[in-house]
Each structure stands twice: as structure tokens, then as C-alpha cells.
Amino acid sequence: MTHNLIYDVREILVRDLGFLATRVEKTPEHLLWESMPGVTNPLGTLVMHLCGNLRHFIGQALGNDGYHRNRDAEFARHPLSKQQLLDEIQITRESVFDVLDKLSFNDLSAEMPDTPPQHQGRTIGFFLIQLCCHLSWHRGQADYLARILGEK
């Protein structure tokens, strides 16, 4: 049963990144980097933060893919184009899929490398669930933002 956790997490993360891509596709280019009342971060910032987070903790920490995160830059609101945001989501989806595809059942009980202080000592299994929760939380923000923008 636990072995399925890796595949379930992979499916949730890849699915929710796909949802994020759909939000980017449906959002007019001129609104991708606009703050809206009631929402702190525009969609572009949410995309950069979520992709940076997953690429750091899954791509680099678990997959050693060479990604170097600049968390401050994720919130700098440097307007990337719609296509650049979609490309970043796709790269992240591929990284998540590839790294988690290689993870084994035994890896889940190992300590998660390179965690923030509040998660030091946590297992990879725990941290994968944490990453799903983090993505889900921000996915909700993206959905709320879409409603503000009048999307269905």
C-alpha cells in the first residue's frame, strides 16, 4: 500500500501542475502579473513559486538535477510571457514525473534532504505529502484569482 504513495503523489503533483497550466492558458497575458484585490500574489508569481518549490525539493534535493532555487526571485514579479510560464510548468512536470518514477519504497523512510528548519528530520514520505498540500493550497489561490478575473 505504501509503495503506491509515490505514484499517488506523482499523479497529484503532475495533475495539479496541469491545472495550473490551464489557468495560465485561460488568463489574458496582461493579467498574469497583476495583483488583484483580495489576492496577494498574481498568477505569474504563484507559478514561479510553485515550480521553484517543486524543482528544488523534488528535482534537486531528490533527483540531484542541478536546479538552483532563488526563492526571492520567485516573488520578484519579473513579467515572463505566458509561454515562458507554460514552459516552466512543463519542465517542472517532467522533473517531478522523472524523479518520482525513480524513487523506491525504501526511499520514503529516509530523511528528506535540504529541508527548511521546521521540517528537519522529516522523512521523504512525509515531505512528499507536504509538497502536495503546499501545491493544493496555492492551487486554491489560483482558482480564487480565476474567479475574480471572471473565469469559469
Answer with the residue of higher pLDDT: 34 or 67.
67
The residues near 63 (Cβ < 8 Å, ≥ 6 apart) are: 95, 98, 99, 102
Cα–Cα distance measured from residue 145 to residue 123, given in angstroms and rounded to the nearest whole number:
33
**pTM for the model:** 0.94
User: pLDDT value at position 149?
Assistant: 82
pLDDT tens, position by position, 126-135 = 999 999 999 9
Per-residue pLDDT for 23 more than 60? yes
Determine the structural domain holding residue 50 and report its residue range: 3-148
The Cα 20–Cα 143 span in angstroms is: 9
Report whether pLDDT(2) > 70. Answer: no
CATH number at residue 109: 1.20.120.450
Show the cell assigned to 94: 517532467
Task: Say if CB 62 and CB 115 are below 8 A apart.
Answer: no
pLDDT over 80 at 26, yes or no: yes
Concatenated DSSP letters of 6-47: HHHHHHHHHHHHHHHHHHHHHS-GGGTT--BTTBSS-HHHHH
Give per-residue pLDDT as tens, 90-104.
Answer: 999 999 999 999 999
Q: What is the pLDDT of residues 35-91, one digit of tens each?
A: 888 788 999 999 999 999 999 999 999 999 999 999 999 998 778 999 999 999 999
pLDDT at position 38 = 79
Q: 55, 70 in Cβ contact below 8 A?
A: no
Backbone angles phi, psi at 2, to 5 degrees: -65, -30
In this prediction, residue 139 carries a pLDDT of 94
Residue 1 has a pLDDT of 43
| pLDDT for the residue 152 | 60
Per the structure, the count of domains in the chain is 1
| Alpha-carbon dihedral 15, 25, 139, 119, rounded to 10 degrees | 70
